[in-house]
Chains A and B, each alone.
Chain A
């Protein structure tokens, strides 16, 4: 038998289980949030489901104590890896004062934590992408060696900000990883109504950067592509555009009904290729995960989520007076 992919990449049992654990944690938080939303307890959910493998593969290739993350709203798997906790995310879901992202001021999925090197973002898609260029430029001027990964959907790759940022990063050879999580739909608009080229990564060459498209359901393939991109960035070889192909398993958000634009067969088919399913299978086949370990992992995550839900439900909203805080320096 030829060398397994994880061996070639130098990833060991513990790391691989850690990747699965983060993927599963993101999935289960999201599932819990849908339940809470349908029960009328939280106002909104915007899901990571179907993207976890791509997200966790990508961030495993980064250095969370050194690199910067400028994510978009689906990237729960990424922010967990960078240090955000289940409780943090639940506090955000419930919009509580203890939400470390924004103290309950932003929607769920609007991640930001200076401590964890996650740069705060906003709702208009793609607007975080030029900030990654600024962060990377700051690092280049100060001769620091970090890379910035900024992520977005394929829909966002049509916004001016993507092109302005990619062009800028290309011209200045900045260590930015443009990470496009292609899930085939911009809410309801399918990819062939969004872009005229075959792949988003085809656009990389216009900006003088490396581009490739990989299977977003395979966290190891994503790890490899992002690792290479990060190495290039640290070596001064400039930015990269990595496009992952996966599928959004839920509607766009808790306010969307995808039955009007996607067949159930298509969604069911995507579920079979779900990275959580296939990666679990990969680990089990290679005896990197036992049934007991898998069960313990599920139970532990579930317990953490239960505790976090309870804590967040009991936590308070921000005080009314704090609305006026932090608009300007004081």
Chain B
């Protein structure tokens, strides 16, 4: 919670991300940033704007176009005492660096019995809905939740982005920090000055409700809130909305407590259905709260297809109508 004594400022999520890095660069000289166009240019989404000027080229490091090099180099830096933040320009470009994440970042601690560690944060914008070209819109968070040894964090607003990014930089383990592109400038929240953290692994109950628990994350948080607003007005029902914020580890307590209260659940995500994180949420509910359920768990997801380009992306993404229909299905089951 924000103490009344602390000054706050309304920020977009990209400003929250930048503010978090600024705080940590200021506090800890082992924090450095590596990435393409992050230096003089300030990043293609302006996440590092002004930081190069403020902290110099030894700490805000422009790299060659070389994702495996960026992540591999960051692993070496982290194993040798630094706290690198690696920016991948779009999540869809991370694949050349995937080997480094899968075979090293996530495993150094385990295979060296805790002697080598990789406190690295990999930041990447992701997701559809901004008319980006092919590959730029992918939502592949479950590729990373499937890797033991890394945490996966997805903020949806400036306040969460700042607190979670600071927690991620402070975290002793590698963190994939996924930034939904559509949230970068589409909402503003009050963000306190200075350092604060939000625990990784803690979901956020955005709205209390009694009839159904709706779990979502990333850009789908905005869409879900909007869809529910109309639905509650028109249908006289009460929905609980939970922004998971961390996809690994999942917040077992919050998810199960909510489902045990409402007896119904829906999960909304823009990633394809098969292998999506919704499946893990369903398993968690099954393991903890099966006998509380009054209806089958609903899912609204992207299709099992590549994300189409801008002309069709709205057809791909979960729409308000689809979200509302799923909730009505569950409540009226």
Are B109's CB and A327's CB within 8 A?
A: yes
Q: A114 to B112, Cβ gap below 8 A?
A: yes
Q: Is the CB of A161 within 8 A of B104?
A: no
Please measure, in the bound complex, the distance between the C-alpha atom of A137 and the C-alpha atom of B110, giving whole angstroms. Answer: 24
Residues of A within 8 A of B108 (CB): 120
Among the 9-residue stretches B68-76, B131-139, B287-295, the one with 4 or more Cβ atoms under 8 Å from chain A is B68-76
Q: Would you give the 0/1 interface string for B168-211, flagging 1 where the beta carbon is closer than 8 Å to chain A? A: 00011100000000000000000000000000000000000000
Per the bound structure, the CA–CA distance linking A327 and B172 in Å amounts to 11
Cβ of B32 < 8 Å from any Cβ of A? Answer: yes
- Whether a CB of chain B sits under 8 angstroms from the CB of A325 is yes
Measured between alpha carbons, how far is A105 from B108 in the docked complex, in Å? 12
A194 to B113 Cα, complex, angstroms? 36
Task: Report, as a range, how many residues of chain A touch the other chain.
Answer: 35 or more
B149 close to chain A: CB less than 8 A? yes
B69-93 Cβ-contact flags toward A at 8 Å (1 or 0)? 1011111111111101000000000
A325–B109 Cα distance when bound, in Å, is: 9
* Those of A164-205 within 8 Å (CB) of chain B: 164-165, 167-168, 171
The interface residues of chain B lying within 8 Å CB-to-CB of A68 are 80
Given the complex, which residues of B lie within 8 Å of A122, measured CB to CB? 103-104, 107, 111
Which chain B residues numbered 43 to 91 have a C-beta less than 8 Å away from chain A?
Answer: 58-59, 63-64, 66, 68-69, 71-82, 84
A254 sits at the interface (CB 8 A): no
What B residues does A101 contact at CB under 8 A?
112
Name the one of B66, B69, B116, B149 contacting A112, with C-beta atoms under 8 angstroms. Answer: B116
Q: Is the CB of A134 within 8 A of B116?
A: no
Task: Check A167–B80 contact: CB distance below 8 A.
Answer: no
Nearest B residue to A172 via CB reads B61
Q: Does B275 contact A (CB under 8 A)?
A: no
For B107, the chain A residues whose CB sits under 8 A away are 122
Other-chain residue from B96, B104, B117 in contact with A160 (beta carbon distance below 8 A): B96
Query: Is B79 within 8 A of A134, CB to CB?
Result: yes
**In the complex, residue of chain B having the shortest beta-carbon distance to the beta carbon of A130:** B72
> Is B99 interfacial (CB-CB < 8 Å)?
yes
Contact indicator B113/A103 (Cβ below 8 Å): yes
Given the complex of chains A and B, what is the CA–CA distance between A164 and B74 in angstroms? Answer: 13
When distances are taken between beta carbons in the complex, the residues of chain B under 8 Å from A164 are: 64, 66, 68-69, 72
Q: Mark A103-147, 1 if CB is under 8 A from B, else 0.
A: 101100010111100011011100101111111111101100000
Chain B residue with the shortest CB-CB distance to A124: B103
* A-to-B contact residues, CB < 8 Å: 68, 101-103, 105-106, 110, 112-115, 119-120, 122-124, 127, 129-139, 141-142, 160-161, 164-165, 167-168, 171, 325-329
